[in-house]
Amino acid sequence: MDIVQLEKLHEFFNESVGAHRDMSMELVSLDNGKVELIMPFQEKHSAHRVDGGLHPGALAAAIDSTCGFVIMLNMEKAQAIVTINLRLDHIHPSPAGEDVRIYAECYQIHQGFAYVKAHAQDLSGEELLCNAVGVFKLGSAGPDLVPEIFKSRS
């Protein structure tokens, strides 16, 4: 995917994908089927928890959205995507008032399914917050996603 396609895809996610838009996810890097995003801390996602960290449900939604983003980076053509199974292991609460770094890798696309692993860390990279693995169905019912992004791919 060239830089123009990548910018269009990230813009699409920021404007159209509910969780991605609501959480103001920021693209940090991508490399060989992997992506790194930052979820900026927002009080509305802390659910006013006593410890001041992100609510685990908000982190789960951010991870699911990041997985969808990395799958789209690896697809040959635009297709609707649906989460079939997403297993999350919440290991440590997120630090109070801090952004969270999310990594995801689409390691296999086979027979209409995408397989992804992901994890979230604090910004320093010292604390693993959540680990995830997921299976996503490609070409499910629903509109194809921004087909113009994929037109010049070979």
Report the number of distinct structural domains present in the chain. 1
DSSP states of the chain: --HHHHHHHHHHHHHH-HHHHHHT-EEEEEETTEEEEEE---GGGTTT-TT----HHHHHHHHHHHHHHHHHHH-SS---EEEEEEEEEE-SPPPTT--EEEEEEEEEEETTEEEEEEEEEETTS--EEEEEEEEEEES-SSPPP-GGGGTT--
Q: Per-residue confidence at 37, pLDDT binned at 50, 70, 90?
A: very high
pLDDT digits (tens, 9 = 90+) for 94-120: 988 899 999 999 999 999 999 999 999
Place of tokens 């299976």: 135
Kindly report the pTM of this predicted structure.
Answer: 0.84
Residue 145 has pLDDT above 70, yes or no: no
Range of the domain at 87: 3-150
CATH code of 63's domain: 3.10.129.10
**pLDDT tens digits along 59-83:** 999 999 999 989 988 888 878 889 9
Q: What is the largest CA-CA distance in the chain?
A: 51
pLDDT tens-digit series, residues 1-23? 566 666 677 677 667 666 667 77
